[in-house]
Amino acid sequence: MSIIISILLFLVTISILVAVHEWGHFIVARSCGVKVLRFSIGFGKIIWSKRTQKGLEIAVSLIPLGGYVKFLDENEAAVPLEDRPYAFNRQSPFKRIAIVLAGPIFNFLFALFAFWIMLMIGVHTIKPIIAEVVPQSLAAKAGFVAQQRIVAINDTPVSSWQDIRLALYPELAEDKPVWVSVQGPSDVAPHSILVNLSGLRLNDDNIDILEDFGVFPFVLDIPAVIDQVEPKSPAAAVGLQKGDKIISINGQSIANWQALLEQITRLGGQTATLVILRHDTQETLSIQVGKRVDHQGETRGYLGIRAKTMILAPDLMFLKRYNPMAALAKAGQETWRMTALSFELLYEMIRGKLDLSGIAGPIGIAESAGSVAHSGLAAYLSFLALISIGLGVVNLLPIPVLDGGYLLYFLIEVARGKPLSDKAQLIGIKIGFTLLLCLLLFASYNDIMRLLQ
């Protein structure tokens, strides 16, 4: 049933965002005097269509991974003499630029709208209070202790763990230290700790920056129950599975996830004996604990497992809700911040500073859609906004077949005073299609690897 829900939510999510994107192209094209022949959700074979009184064909196509608006265009088919003024290719380069830019811009506007509604509904947020600092971790060496509340990153106020993640992600590719302001229960005022994030990277071995940083959110308890197993990890090699509860390591009883992490951290490269509980049956496993050298040059043990969903104490959460005007201002800030962050992370990926394993494809989006379905409308709106921003950013890439590719063609036309030759445009489209297909296959590969965990 959860798979069906994920698939349905994926279709709903993609349909909404594609409709918004293509509506941007459609409405601006109509305002520029271009005749629109078809508005399609999805591409490929048309499985349903309806024609309006003005001759516009509204269609649903077989492959639900995009959509398109088909304009009257002499480059695609013969156009009657009386209709030629309404053809796309007859418009000035500046009108065509406005039309191709409209799709991504509408995605950003939709994100603004979704964030606005979400902030008025209210968002349940976890207070960024540290429960546990992992021994020998970056946080421990920097001087962080339990009970401290993180209040700012580089003078930027933070009020949730998500704020902290978003503030730290752009710093991963930098070699300069970060100031983290904290305040303990007995502190009169916050004080700042200088942290060097050099060497910290977001990749398959470091899915959550907080975990590698070495802090755990304040929670009632984190049971030592496996929720995810990384492929090709020590845990995967001995057959550890989702749902396994680790009872002891080398005879040492394990009360919770923090205790498990402390034991594993110091056993790097050694053989350990695990006692696990699987389907109410105890099993004993011998495992070779992996080891990694952290950014401080010290060796730490790891198994390649992630914790079961944490149970949060109600008093450690609060509902952030805004009035319409304050929500609109905050939504604008959030849209700008997430758009800038998306471009920055994309740039760092191109530079090779960030691992490409974080790229998600259709399966990853479907899985995420299914997860947020259980978190309420506000969470789903936030998810829609983030995916819409991602769609807008990707479409601005200067790759032919994407809006950014056509924008590049039209800018070259403005600079040259004449368009590129048909042959040059066709070559660009073939290259662009190949790149896009490779990106889709790579993202789908990442999705499958995550599922195999």
pLDDT above 60 for 254: yes
Which of 185-189, 355-359, 408-412 shows the highest mean pLDDT?
408-412
Say if residue 280 is in the same domain as residue 373: no
Handedness of CA 333, 335, 338, 340 (dihedral sign): negative
Q: Judge whether 171 and 341 are in contact, CB under 8 Å.
A: no
Spatial separation of the C-alpha atoms in residues 311 and 343, rounded to whole Å = 34
Say if residue 258 is in the same domain as residue 331: no
Which of 25-39, 267-281, 427-441 shows the highest mean pLDDT?
25-39
Say if residue 238 is in the same domain as residue 362: no
How many CB atoms lie under 10 A from the CB of residue 422?
9
Confidence at 204, pLDDT banded by 50, 70, 90: very low
Say if residue 309 is in the same domain as residue 379: no
pLDDT above 70 for 203: no
Q: Judge whether 453 and 230 are in contact, CB under 8 Å.
A: yes
The answer for residues whose C-beta is within 8 angstroms of residue 221's C-beta and 6 or more apart is 256, 310, 311
Spatial separation of the C-alpha atoms in residues 290 and 20, rounded to whole Å = 47
Residue 189 within a domain: yes
Q: Which amino acid is at 192?
A: S
pLDDT of residue 71: 93
Prediction pTM value = 0.66
pLDDT above 70 for 337: yes
Handedness of CA 356, 358, 359, 362 (dihedral sign): positive
DSSP string, 283-305: EEEEEE-EEEE-TTS-EEEE-SE
pLDDT of residue 175: 65
pLDDT above 60 for 183: yes
- In the DSSP assignment, the letter for residue 329 is H
The answer for residues whose C-beta is within 8 angstroms of residue 272's C-beta and 6 or more apart is 249, 250, 263, 264, 286, 287, 289
Spatial separation of the C-alpha atoms in residues 79 and 116, rounded to whole Å = 44
In the set 22, 132, 171, 367, the catalytic residue is: 22
pLDDT of residue 48: 92
Q: Of 40 and 445, which is predicted with more confidence?
A: 40
pLDDT above 70 for 39: yes
pLDDT of residue 158: 86
Say if residue 180 is in the same domain as residue 238: yes
Residue 310 within a domain: yes
Q: Using CA atoms in the order 195, 198, 201, 207, what is the torsion angle rounded to 10 degrees?
A: -20
Which of 1-5, 235-239, 265-269 shows the highest mean pLDDT?
235-239
Q: How many domains are there within the chain?
A: 2
pLDDT above 60 for 295: no
Spatial separation of the C-alpha atoms in residues 147 and 339, rounded to whole Å = 33
Nearest Cα neighbor of 107 from 25, 28, 20, 14 is 20
Say if residue 111 is in the same domain as residue 241: no
Looking only at the bridges linking them, the beta strands covering 281-288 and 271-278 are: antiparallel
Reported as a single tens digit per residue, the pLDDT across 367-401 is: 666 566 666 788 889 889 988 998 999 899 888 88
Say if residue 338 is in the same domain as residue 221: no
Say if residue 279 is in the same domain as residue 252: yes
Which residue shows structure tokens 């978003």?
A: 166
pLDDT of residue 128: 85
The DSSP H or E segment spanning 446 is helix 422-451
User: Residue range 421-445: average pLDDT?
Assistant: 79
**CATH classification at residue 230:** 2.30.42.10
Phi, psi values for residue 152, rounded to 5°? -160, 150
Q: Which amino acid is at 181?
A: S
Residue 253 within a domain: yes
Residue 252 within a domain: yes
> What is the largest distance, in Å, between two alpha-carbon atoms of the chain?
87
User: Residue range 253-264: average pLDDT?
Assistant: 84
Confidence at 205, pLDDT banded by 50, 70, 90: very low
Phi, psi values for residue 62, rounded to 5°? -65, -40
Nearest Cα neighbor of 196 from 213, 210, 181, 182 is 213
Residue 65 within a domain: no
**In 214-361, where does DSSP find H-type helix?**
234-237, 257-265, 324-351
Which of 96-110, 270-284, 315-329 shows the highest mean pLDDT?
96-110
Residue 21 within a domain: no
pLDDT of residue 1: 42
How many CB atoms lie under 10 A from the CB of residue 212?
23
Q: Judge whether 319 and 124 are in contact, CB under 8 Å.
A: yes
Domain that holds residue 206: 130-316
Residue 280 within a domain: yes
Residue 440 within a domain: yes
- In the DSSP assignment, the letter for residue 56 is P
Say if residue 331 is in the same domain as residue 206: no
User: Residue range 229-238: average pLDDT?
Assistant: 86
If 0-12 CB within 10 Å is exposed, 13-18 middle and 19+ buried, where does residue 318 land? middle
Nearest Cα neighbor of 320 from 127, 92, 59 is 127
pLDDT above 70 for 114: yes
Q: Using CA atoms in the order 118, 121, 126, 127, what is the torsion angle rounded to 10 degrees?
A: 110
pLDDT above 80 for 178: yes
User: Residue range 159-170: average pLDDT?
Assistant: 80
Spatial separation of the C-alpha atoms in residues 49 and 327, rounded to whole Å = 39
Which of 151-165, 192-206, 212-226 shows the highest mean pLDDT?
151-165
Q: Judge whether 49 and 60 are in contact, CB under 8 Å.
A: yes
Domain edge (last residue) among 275, 293, 316: 316
Least confident interval from 70-74, 82-86, 342-346: 342-346
Say if residue 178 is in the same domain as residue 196: yes
Domain edge (last residue) among 262, 290, 316: 316
Q: How far is CA 273 from the centre of its chain?
A: 37
Domain edge (last residue) among 316, 350, 374: 316
Share of the chain above pLDDT 70, in %: 84
Say if residue 287 is in the same domain as residue 139: yes
Say if residue 242 is in the same domain as residue 158: yes
Catalytic annotation present for 262: no
In 3-state terms the chain splits into helix, strand, coil percentages (rounded to 5) of 45, 25, 30
The DSSP H or E segment spanning 425 is helix 422-451
Cα atoms found within 13 Å of the Cα of residue 38, Cβ hemisphere only: 15
Q: What is the mean pLDDT of the chain?
A: 82
The DSSP H or E segment spanning 38 is strand 36-51
User: Residue range 181-203: average pLDDT?
Assistant: 79
pLDDT of residue 309: 58
How many CB atoms lie under 10 A from the CB of residue 228?
14
